[in-house]
Amino acid sequence: MTEPHPTIRPQPGILEIALYQGGESRPAGHAEVLKLSSNENPLGPSPKAIAAFRAAAGSLHLYPSSDHAALRAAIGAVHGLDPARIVCGSGSDEIISFLTQAYAGPGLEVVHTEHGFGMYRISALAAGATPIEVRERERRTDVDAILAAATERTALVFVANPNNPTGTMIAAAEIERLAAGLPARTLLVLDAAYAECVEGFDGHAGLVAERDNVVMTRTFSKIHGLGGLRVGWSYGPPHVIDALNRVRGPFNLSTAQLAAAEAAVRDGDYTARCRAENVRNRQNLAAGLAAVGVASDPSEANFVLARFRDRAEAEGCDRALREAGIIVRKVAGYKLPQALRITVGDAAACERVAAAVGAFMRVRA
């Protein structure tokens, strides 16, 4: 860690941030690996999105649209939302940062759950706010615990539904109860990065439309397979969207990002295919793990949280998988040291990882 300068210091909270660690991509000693650590779509992006990205190469000398009108219109048309209530960012991470920049700060608090996405804490600290962690109940968001933690100092509450890294999801009625019970000054942020993995789920967009204290974030990195381009969006009350546009840089998305994302969201057939493949392979992966004695909660995302007897067993399995050229995600940083998060790959990948875990468990026994 770099030693702080004696007189030139960043804002309070910055040096408390532990650097975010993304999923590893290549272990030493393997020319070819099976990467199941970053929740990427094994089918990749829509061919229409790839074509749109390539076509954008001819206009790279021109500044992109600053209002993202075409992409917002496409998102609105596909999801049945008012484009005027949509703001776009460089991944949903940037939207999270916008929200903390606009609404949090010194003397205010940002609530998140104990196994929630790491960027909630990071963004809160970057804004000078105090992150408040609340317990979950058996790896599920506990609405009562959040309500008990919320005070007049609570600026934001972040809830991912489905959650990462647990894959669990709570009912819409519970989310509605949470929104209704928060203090008047508190904004509820519903992170719906994995919404498309759930058939018929709108990411709680309907609740956002009804209330003035709820905002939804979404991403193109998961089911749309555009993690390498970094595109996200948010749908919220007009007063929130107005604030986010005031802190958003005017050219925060490139021409290529905008074109590829628009083509991706409009390709509904491809999205449906990706969803169906994910559901089928997720079920098979969970069943394969269960057959060798590794439990997991029912997942509504594109990964499975494999739970072992203890930390030592989880770390031993991780080492065995690495030796087999398979990378998964250790989640001790999410207070789940006894677990490994495994991305749902294609059918062959799921069979391979289940077989490798099974081989480890048999040796372990």
For residue 80, the number of C-alpha atoms closer than 13 Å in the C-beta half-sphere is 9
**Residue 30 pLDDT exceeds 60:** no
Instruction: For residues 41 and 31, give the distance between their C-alpha atoms in angstroms, rounded to a whole number.
Output: 21
**pLDDT reported for residue 25:** 54
Pair 130, 108: CB distance under 8 Å: yes
Q: What tens digit of pLDDT does each residue of 201-213 get?
A: 999 999 999 999 9
**pLDDT reported for residue 365:** 65
Q: Where in the chain is the domain with CATH 3.90.1150.10?
A: 22-44+269-364
**pLDDT bracket for residue 28 (50, 70, 90):** low
**Residue 52 pLDDT exceeds 80:** yes
Q: What is the DSSP letter of 47?
A: H
**Percent of the chain topping pLDDT 90:** 90
Pair 193, 164: CB distance under 8 Å: yes
**pLDDT reported for residue 132:** 98
Nearest to 282 by CA among 267, 304, 307: 304
| Mean pLDDT computed over 306-315 | 97
CATH topology for the 22-44+269-364 domain: Aspartate Aminotransferase, domain 1 (3.90.1150)
SS3 34: strand
Q: What tens digit of pLDDT does each residue of 99-153 get?
A: 999 999 999 999 999 999 999 999 999 999 999 999 999 999 999 999 999 999 9
Query: Residue holding tokens 């759930």?
Result: 198
Q: Where in the chain is the domain with CATH 3.40.640.10?
A: 47-266
Q: What tens digit of pLDDT does each residue of 279-300 get?
A: 999 999 999 999 999 999 999 9
**pLDDT bracket for residue 8 (50, 70, 90):** low
CATH topology for the 47-266 domain: Aspartate Aminotransferase; domain 2 (3.40.640)
Q: What is the DSSP letter of 160?
A: E
**pLDDT reported for residue 1:** 63
Q: What tens digit of pLDDT does each residue of 230-280 get?
A: 999 999 999 999 999 999 999 999 999 999 999 999 999 999 999 999 999
* Strand pairing class (187-191; 34-35): unpaired
**Residue 17 pLDDT exceeds 70:** no
